Amino acid sequence: MVQTSNQIKVNLARIHALMDSPLFKHDSSEITSWRPVFSELITLLNDVLHQADQLDKRVGFMDNVGVNGKIQDITSLVEWMHERLPNLPADQPGQLSDNHLNRYFDRGTGYFANGYFFTADFDDELAFFVDDQRIYLNRHIRRAITEAEKSLPNLNSSAL
């Protein structure tokens, strides 16, 4: 479905607001309330990247994208995460072992409480994990939005 430029502008504005959420700051004390915000961010990002792809302007960078060779580029990583997020269990006490959504600040390697192994390669970066796939807030999400904004010209027209 082709979105109007106004719909895309609204999505982009919301994405920028979500990326700058205090929930994604290193000093955030929130343990679980970031998950619905991340889910909304991935949903909107997926919509924007899908729109760019439909216009033959696919955002296709591969830097640090994909774990275990499963993902081709940033657009496919976001789509993969988007497809899995609705299936994640609610954040309720006692369900940590079933939860497949995690985050980690800075560089590190280890295991989350739910048993998933992780590696985050960069200092001063926030990594989100859905199952064993990782996406970085700055290196992936911010960059994908920047590239999508550049590839979606004519945001002043009524339809793209």
Which residues, listed in sequence order, are joined to residue 129 by a DSSP beta bridge?
102, 134
Task: Give the pLDDT of residue 18.
Answer: 96
| Residue predicted with more confidence, 97 or 128 | 128
The 10s digit of each residue's pLDDT in 45-95 is 999 999 999 989 999 999 988 766 667 899 999 999 999 886 555 555 444
Q: Where are the domains of the chain?
A: 5-151
18 phi and psi angles, rounded to 5 deg: -65, -40
CB atoms within 10 A of CB 128: 23
| Residue predicted with more confidence, 35 or 155 | 35
| Residue predicted with more confidence, 62 or 115 | 62
Q: Name the residue with tokens 């409480």.
A: 113
Residues in contact with 48: Cβ distance below 8 Å, sequence separation at least 6, in sequence order: 8, 11, 12, 15, 145, 148, 152
- pTM metric for this prediction: 0.84
Q: Distance (Å, rounded) from C-alpha 68 to C-alpha 138?
A: 21
Q: Distance (Å, rounded) from C-alpha 125 to C-alpha 26?
A: 9
Q: Is 63 helix (H, G, I), strand (E, B) or coil?
A: coil
Residues in contact with 51: Cβ distance below 8 Å, sequence separation at least 6, in sequence order: 2, 3, 8, 148, 152, 160
As a whole-number percent, the residues of the chain with pLDDT over 90 amount to 44
